[in-house]
Structure 1
Amino acid sequence: MTQHAPIFPNVRGFLHGGDYNPDQWLAYRDVLEQDVKLMREAKWNAVSLGIFSWVSLEPEEGVFTFDWLDETIERLTKAGIHILLATPSGARPAWLSAKYPEVLRVGPDGRRNRHGGRHNHCYTSPVYREKVRIINRKLAERYAHHPGVIGWHVSNEYGGECHCPLCQEAFRAWLKRKYKTLDALNHAWWTPFWSHTYTDWSQIESPMPHGEMSIHGLNLDWKRFVTDQTVDFCRHEIEPLKEVNPSLPVTTNFMGTYPGLNYWRFRGVLDVISWDSYPRWHTHETLVPEAVHTAMVHDLNRSILRKPFLLMESTPSVTNWQAVSKQKRPGVHVLVSLQALAHGADSVQYFQWRKSRGSCEKFHGAVVDHVGHANTRVFRDVQAVGEMLEQLAPLAGAGIDAEAAVVFDWENRWALEDAKGPRNIGMHYEETVTAHYAALWRLGVPMDVIDEEQPLDGYKLVVAPMLYMVRPGVAERMRAFVEQGGTLVLTYWSGIVDENDLVHLGGFPGPLRELAGVWAEEIDALYDGERVPVQTVDGNPLGLAGTYEARELCEVVHLEGAEPLAVYAADYYAGMPAATVHRVGQGRVYYVAARLDEAFLRDFMARVAAEAGVRRALAADLPEDTSAMVRSGDGVEYVFLMNFTPSPKELRLDGASYRHLYGEAPVDGTLVLPAYGVSVLQRPAKGR
């Protein structure tokens, strides 16, 4: 069983808090005096402080004003509220933009931005890097050893790209380090197509709508460069902080599956992974679609360092920037907050403490509304979460022992979405990964969410949908995993290109062809609304029975050692395999050749998971639209049972010895989860 050391050694239990912006209220002394009292009522024990405070800390170049921050930190510390102190690089002051215009970004159209917005700065700019180093060093020297400061919150939601001359030169230098010669670059990018061969490094520019965008290798390497440059900037931010106090943990807040950055590249730079969760709750009759995707992203963030993460931001009520900013229904805030804990979070934190009086987020949800007191439904919801977190404190640091993994890979997505075919109206990579994850989520299977380069040791089942790009070493690791008894699930449109987005020669799925035991001759793209029936094969090894539907993509495959589970029942490929299994060594490889419906994924993944012997959080069938997750500590397992519907659900337990971790009701053979209800049970850990 996995019990991790506390993220913050001097914090008992979970963090409960969020973004606090006292610099917006310096002219309102009565508001600042109320804040700490209300925080204690809300059961807050932590704040993220100073995220957008640069101009309040340095109102003019070289003039620093820390008095307000000194006072705030002392007030919070005296009240027992811990501080994640932010560096303010997420939004630069106007004087910096005016005096040093090079710090402002240049867009892909070649125009330099004006001052404004957030992250409107060049990560390459030596001036910007130096100004950030100075303010970060000042903060570290003043506060890095303060007893109230438990860690650093570096910047805020890194994102975006710059196309300025400095970034163009940095990109060329990055390419020279990678390829060494122009001949190697031209081959990797296949530049003879359309006579786009480069004959001098100076000819290379970033992808631009009025320039070069047809070279897929260029597009892919630019995205890699943007990630690497952002990671390097993050590392640059952290250096002065660690020089002053190397023991203080550092994090920054990610944005789910934000397509602009490959978050796996931040490993080795950050001590803690954090992310900001803003699902669109109540877009369906149940919360399940949002709950599934949110659970997957929780698992992804936990998997990056394979230890508990921080839910850095969520809203206690609404956002103000979604197409429809809908209020959470009663009970939902507690449910989705504990869902984060179930999947490995050691915090529940919010944007924001108090609603802003003006500007673009004045109507974004907050714990304290414009009315300014605690007598609101939202405040009571937050208070209820705080009370539960206090009762759940014993499970902080508990790990998740996943025997299954789902592959979600940023570089694979970049290449796949730039492929120009077979469906330019949508290949739906993220949706496809989520659909496979959902089938296991409904079974209560704990999962890691990994990229394709991670080791597979310790898993019994690995699911890798649409692995379009297969980078060096991946096929070899997958073969070793299967030969040693693992179960691998692959799908259509896999093994198509290499790490340079060059097509694998010799037939698809490229380096996975022998492992899958099939040859994919071609792929048929369907129009929206088109369906192709798929019929199971009598006596197939999984015992699947019935007819399913394929949509969007149907691959025409030939058996090369695999045996069929199901075949197409229409079109010119009628009778050809739509799903197969191939026995390799002690394990099995399943290949799903079409985008099949939810009914197939449910039936298929249930049988595959059972055959692989993957352990479930609860060894019993779960009611529809409920979920189970388990965290493991020292000799104890904590089982979260969650109902994502507006109706009560009754579930039967599996015979283990359970007791409630909080509350007074005894646990017998059945448990009723109220509408949007959640229960946390404790049981003795099983040996593994």
Structure 2
Amino acid sequence: MATPLHTNEFLHGGDYNPDQWLDHPEVIEQDFQDFKQAKLNTVTLGIFAWDKLEPSEGQYDFSWLDQIFDQAEAQGTKIILSTPSGARPRWLSEKYPEVLRVNEQGQRNQFGERHNHCYTAPVYREKVQAINRQLAQRYGKRPSLLLWHISNEYGGACYCDLCQAAFREWVQAKYQTLANLNHAYWNAFWSHEYTSWDQIQAPSPSGDTGVMGLNLDWRRFVTDRTIDFFENEIKPLRELTPDIPVTANFMGGNPSESHVFYDLDYQKFAEHVDVVSWDSYPNWSNGYESTARLAMKTALMNDVMRSLKHSNYLIMESTPSQVNWHPFNRAKRPGMHEMGSLQQIAHGADSVLYFQLHQSLGASEMFHGSVVTNHRGTRTRAFNDVTKVGQDLQQLQPVLRTTRKTAKVAIVFDYDNMWALDDARNYANETKQYWRTIQEHYQYFWEHDIPVEIVSVTDDLTPYSLVIDPMHFMMSHAFAAKLKAYVEQGGHLVGTYITGVVDENFLAYQGDGLADLQATYGISVQETDTLYPQQHNALTAYHQAYQINDYCDVVDLATAQSVGTYQKDFYAGTPAVTKNTLGTGTAHYLAARTGTDFLAAFYEQLATTLQLKLPLPIAKNNAHVAIQVREDDQQSYYFVTNFSHQPATITLNQSLKNVFSDQVVSDQQELTSYGVQVYVSKK
């Protein structure tokens, strides 16, 4: 059972590294004064501080951290304490070189960077537990300790002999016999059959990369090995501080990218943390998409993180201004910091935390944005923007105990499917784009302020009126049966092209494929036509023609009816969109990839039929304006945000209290460019 996070205010603060300024105590003193002025109430300490906490093996120095705890507690600041395993000190790597990772080519890395450590090495696990035990013993009872921040942004893999041996054990435990393994990997192809467990090696450019089951199992193993390391790391914390929850900051990075959380299965990892937290760095005001489109993608990432445990979550890192690792590191425009910060709160975040609170004097992230910059002082635009968010969070205090409006719509996302589809030697590498497809199906609901959950294949589907399951290339018999039962019991399902092609071992389904899936959609798929980027088909539906791009499944009807038909090529006139009734539910199949124009028309029909739109007391006439709802049993809070550089007008259909002005207002209200207002009404 998860240990809850106990806080009576939104967390506002972030990563603070006073260990970089120990020879300038006046800097630290001024920092705390500045933090108070900026209305920060939380500091995250100890990230990457191992060399200051344990300068040499077994010799600990906590004197400086004691002082920081004292200073924080003196002004009522909460502390999130990090374990330092994200970057080990030089002495550890020099004495125990086995802690350094080995790359895919079998070469051991030199000391450097961060996250360059083996998750299997016994000595590294031992040293991590030792420093964590020291931290728990010394600070576990401090009244300011709120949360354990475990390591930092877990990721990557090691290919050393220890990890190879662990992988062989993992594979043997899964398949039990070599016969089972050889069948699952289809090793008769290219004479690849194993005759000994010792022959198993991780995928490598100098070895095997063409055994699809092996590639997929390695990714699964890396997640399991990382979680195993995490569980080892938190043992002394669970033992000594059972009432302090733990988190590991997941990576969402820049939501414009397609593989922002690709390495680890967070749906599995989330079961092991008490609170989900993530690092959010959208590249606002980029040069290739509108602010509203990036806001949609960022909203989806927030919904992903909230859905991992179906509860409120934390923003562990964001930036007050810019980052230093995007291809173009542009500063936020005026108003954007408040806009982006409150968007996260609107989706269920209970914090706005930054990397970093004080800018580094040098090294890799010296130009990464911060609350206190190298310009020092409190007159910078970033400092004032942070202060404004701090004021907002204080005014939003009653919202803390609320949760996001319950969703009636779910989109299925599966890590195994993402990895498998990406690795499939079929279709087109440039256009498979599983995550982009999810974004496009999400867009309609974002623009119409309809809450969405992002669910895994293990989640219960029955609470949702509509389940969308795009491009489910790798599907198990069990999930196909779950979809069928969901529809039979009254659920409404939407699936797409490239679904149900292979099983969980990456072996192709034979004949008509999954019987349950065929019964659910009422069709059989004959083949998938892959289009070049300059090629297009079209479909006719709802008395209109819509362009088709990239993929066309050619299908035969069984029990389904055709809702839209292809216009071109050898399959012209055949079904491109189908609808099947099964039990008391329905299942639509979108056999082709369309633009968002068709998806908007399609989902408008479903939203009307299923009554998915919220009865909001606020009307808008601009898709760049978003309305998100947090609520409890007594009140509803409406976060209204203008994701545009142009002002916008909304209409209040009833009198509502503006939380920021503390005034009851009605009728038309103006939103400034990138403006946010929050209204409240009693239920």
TM-score by structure 1 length? 0.96
| Contact 1:13 1:395 survives alignment (8 Å) | no
| Contact 1:6 1:396 survives alignment (8 Å) | no
Deviation at 1:667, TM superposition (A): 2.5
Measured against aligned partners, the alpha-carbon deviations of 1:30-64 in whole angstroms (never above 9, x if no partner) come to: 11110110000111000111111000000100000
Q: Mean alpha-carbon deviation: is it higher for 657-666 or for 218-227?
A: 657-666
Measured against aligned partners, the alpha-carbon deviations of 1:430-460 in whole angstroms (never above 9, x if no partner) come to: 1001110111111101111112221112111
Measured against aligned partners, the alpha-carbon deviations of 1:402-430 in whole angstroms (never above 9, x if no partner) come to: 11111121111000001111112331101
Give distance in 2, aligned partners of 1:647 and 1:548. Answer: 30
Measured against aligned partners, the alpha-carbon deviations of 1:258-284 in whole angstroms (never above 9, x if no partner) come to: 211000112331100000001121124
The partner residue of 1:290 within 259, 278, 294 is 294
**Alignment correspondent of 2:420:** 415
| Contact 2:477 2:514 survives alignment (8 Å) | no
**Alignment correspondent of 2:519:** 514
**Alignment correspondent of 1:319:** 323
| Contact 2:462 2:491 survives alignment (8 Å) | no
Measured against aligned partners, the alpha-carbon deviations of 1:79-100 in whole angstroms (never above 9, x if no partner) come to: 1110000000000000000000
| Contact 1:446 1:617 survives alignment (8 Å) | no
**Alignment correspondent of 2:677:** 679
Q: Secondary structure at the match of 1:627?
A: strand
| In the alignment, structure 1 residue 259 sits paired with structure 2 residue 258 | no
Q: Mean alpha-carbon deviation: is it higher for 315-324 or for 553-562?
A: 553-562
Amino acid at match of 2:417: N
| Contact 1:489 1:589 survives alignment (8 Å) | yes
Q: Secondary structure at the match of 1:652?
A: strand
| Contact 2:3 2:245 survives alignment (8 Å) | no
Q: Secondary structure at the match of 1:501?
A: coil
| Contact 1:486 1:612 survives alignment (8 Å) | no
| Contact 2:5 2:275 survives alignment (8 Å) | no
The partner residue of 2:272 within 255, 269, 274 is 269
Give distance in 1, aligned partners of 2:401 and 2:193. Answer: 54
| In the alignment, structure 1 residue 363 sits paired with structure 2 residue 361 | no
Give distance in 1, aligned partners of 2:475 and 2:656. Answer: 44
| In the alignment, structure 1 residue 633 sits paired with structure 2 residue 638 | no
Q: Secondary structure at the match of 2:138?
A: helix
Amino acid at match of 1:280: N
**Alignment correspondent of 1:604:** 602
| Contact 1:6 1:397 survives alignment (8 Å) | no
Give distance in 1, aligned partners of 2:32 and 2:432. Answer: 49
Change (3 A) 1:531 1:297: same
| Contact 2:448 2:613 survives alignment (8 Å) | no
Deviation at 1:534, TM superposition (A): 1.3
| Contact 2:3 2:244 survives alignment (8 Å) | no
| In the alignment, structure 1 residue 395 sits paired with structure 2 residue 394 | no
Give distance in 2, aligned partners of 1:248 and 1:84. Answer: 10
Change (3 A) 1:682 1:245: same
Give distance in 2, aligned partners of 1:318 and 1:545. Answer: 47
Deviation at 1:566, TM superposition (A): 1.1
Give distance in 2, aligned partners of 1:472 and 1:570. Answer: 34
| Contact 1:491 1:594 survives alignment (8 Å) | yes
Measured against aligned partners, the alpha-carbon deviations of 1:259-315 in whole angstroms (never above 9, x if no partner) come to: 110001123311000000011211246312221111111111111111100000011
The partner residue of 1:425 within 430, 435, 447 is 430
Q: Mean alpha-carbon deviation: is it higher for 355-364 or for 444-453?
A: 444-453
**What residue ranges of structure 2 are gaps of 5+ in the alignment?**
253-259
Amino acid at match of 2:244: L
| In the alignment, structure 1 residue 300 sits paired with structure 2 residue 297 | no
Deviation at 1:116, TM superposition (A): 0.6
Give distance in 1, aligned partners of 2:147 and 2:491. Answer: 40
**Alignment correspondent of 1:502:** 507
The partner residue of 1:527 within 528, 532, 536 is 532
Q: Mean alpha-carbon deviation: is it higher for 207-216 or for 263-272?
A: 263-272
Amino acid at match of 1:683: S
Q: Mean alpha-carbon deviation: is it higher for 216-225 or for 438-447?
A: 438-447
Q: Secondary structure at the match of 1:267?
A: helix
Deviation at 1:7, TM superposition (A): 4.9
Give distance in 1, aligned partners of 2:153 and 2:66. Answer: 25
Give distance in 1, aligned partners of 2:279 and 2:57. Answer: 32
Measured against aligned partners, the alpha-carbon deviations of 1:620-660 in whole angstroms (never above 9, x if no partner) come to: 5551222111112132111111111101112234x355222
Deviation at 1:499, TM superposition (A): 1.0
Q: Mean alpha-carbon deviation: is it higher for 325-334 or for 662-671?
A: 662-671
Deviation at 1:475, TM superposition (A): 1.5
| In the alignment, structure 1 residue 377 sits paired with structure 2 residue 381 | yes
Change (3 A) 1:328 1:423: same
The partner residue of 1:669 within 654, 667, 670 is 667
Give distance in 2, aligned partners of 1:545 and 1:491. Answer: 21
**Alignment correspondent of 1:539:** none
Q: Secondary structure at the match of 2:601?
A: helix
Give distance in 2, aligned partners of 1:239 and 1:610. Answer: 51
Deviation at 1:668, TM superposition (A): 1.3
Deviation at 1:511, TM superposition (A): 4.1
Q: Secondary structure at the match of 1:275?
A: strand
Give distance in 2, aligned partners of 1:448 and 1:175. Answer: 33
**Alignment correspondent of 1:455:** 460
Deviation at 1:662, TM superposition (A): 2.1
Measured against aligned partners, the alpha-carbon deviations of 1:479-498 in whole angstroms (never above 9, x if no partner) come to: 22212221111000011111
| Contact 1:494 1:508 survives alignment (8 Å) | no
Q: Secondary structure at the match of 2:403?
A: coil
| Contact 2:338 2:385 survives alignment (8 Å) | yes
Q: Secondary structure at the match of 1:668?
A: strand
| Contact 1:296 1:437 survives alignment (8 Å) | yes
Give distance in 2, aligned partners of 1:472 and 1:229. Answer: 26
Give distance in 2, aligned partners of 1:466 and 1:617. Answer: 31
Map 1:146-185 onto structure 2 (within 5 A): 146-185=142-181
| Contact 1:405 1:462 survives alignment (8 Å) | yes
Map 1:214-253 onto structure 2 (within 5 A): 214-253=210-249
| In the alignment, structure 1 residue 445 sits paired with structure 2 residue 453 | no
| Contact 2:484 2:519 survives alignment (8 Å) | no
Change (3 A) 1:595 1:26: same
The partner residue of 1:121 within 117, 120, 126 is 117
Give distance in 1, aligned partners of 2:523 and 2:175. Answer: 34
Measured against aligned partners, the alpha-carbon deviations of 1:195-224 in whole angstroms (never above 9, x if no partner) come to: 111110010100000101111000000000
Give distance in 1, aligned partners of 2:480 and 2:276. Answer: 28
Give distance in 1, aligned partners of 2:607 and 2:202. Answer: 44
Give distance in 2, aligned partners of 1:132 and 1:380. Answer: 39
TM-score by structure 2 length? 0.96
| In the alignment, structure 1 residue 487 sits paired with structure 2 residue 492 | yes
Give distance in 2, aligned partners of 1:559 and 1:621. Answer: 41
| Contact 1:308 1:399 survives alignment (8 Å) | yes
Root mean square deviation of aligned Cα? 1.5
Amino acid at match of 1:332: M
**Alignment correspondent of 1:338:** 342
Deviation at 1:613, TM superposition (A): 2.1
Deviation at 1:575, TM superposition (A): 0.7
Percent identity, please.
Answer: 45
The partner residue of 2:61 within 58, 61, 65 is 65
Give distance in 1, aligned partners of 2:425 and 2:514. Answer: 18
| In the alignment, structure 1 residue 95 sits paired with structure 2 residue 91 | yes
Give distance in 1, aligned partners of 2:681 and 2:20. Answer: 47
The partner residue of 2:356 within 352, 356, 372 is 352
Deviation at 1:508, TM superposition (A): 4.5
Q: Mean alpha-carbon deviation: is it higher for 323-332 or for 395-404?
A: 395-404
Amino acid at match of 1:53: A
**Alignment correspondent of 1:81:** 77
